């Protein structure tokens, strides 16, 4: 009769555990053997900047990563507000320039043109027309002193 070989489950588990340990050790060793980043190599090895600067840069990098991780929602809201303002700024500036032009044209009409018989709405209309390229303002007679 032949004897059946039996395996101990504890031995199998320990062998698998040992194999996983070796893989993890090899992966950790690969991570440690990774070379310096190109910017560290260039600035601190080739150029020769002081190590204190590298320490400050790495601390700032770490704190900024933590800040971004913790304040992601506020950063997104801030960027949304800035983008919205940047999007609408040209529209607001254009409207302000047009209003300034109309006010200047209205003052010019009142000071230099004969405005007898022209009411305020018509003066506003003429100033708006002038700012958009109209020439009706030149048809009004100049005041003669």
Residues 50 and 80 in one domain: no
Mean pLDDT confidence for 24-48:
75
Cα dihedral 50, 56, 62, 68, rounded to 10, equals: -130
Domain of 106 in residue numbering reads as 72-145
Residues 130 and 82 in one domain: yes
Residues 39 and 81 in one domain: no
Q: How many degrees, rounded to 5, is the angle at CA 117 between CA 115 and CA 123?
A: 50
Residues 96 and 108 in one domain: yes
Residue 6: pLDDT band by 50, 70, 90 thresholds?
low
Question: What is the average pLDDT value for the chain, to the nearest integer?
Answer: 83
Mean pLDDT confidence for 50-76:
93
Q: Model-level pTM?
A: 0.49
Predicted pLDDT of residue 33? 56
Q: Which of 7-16, 34-43, 44-53, 60-69 has the lowest mean pLDDT?
A: 7-16
């Amino acid at each position: 009769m032949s004897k059946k070989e039996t395996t101990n489950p504890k031995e199998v588990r320990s062998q698998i555990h040992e194999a996983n340990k070796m893989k993890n050790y090899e992966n950790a060793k690969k991570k440690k053997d990774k070379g310096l980043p190109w910017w560290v190599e260039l600035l601190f090895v080739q150029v020769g900047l002081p190590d204190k600067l590298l320490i400050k840069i790495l601390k700032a990098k770490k704190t900024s990563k933590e800040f971004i991780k913790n304040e992601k929602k506020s950063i997104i809201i801030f960027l949304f507000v800035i983008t919205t303002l940047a999007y609408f700024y040209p529209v607001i500036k254009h409207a302000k320039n047009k209003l300034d032009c109309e006010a200047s044209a209205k003052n010019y009409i009142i000071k230099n043109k004969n405005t007898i018989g022209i009411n305020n709405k018509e003066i506003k209309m003429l100033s708006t027309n002038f700012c958009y390229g109209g020439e009706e303002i030149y048809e009004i007679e100049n005041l003669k002193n």
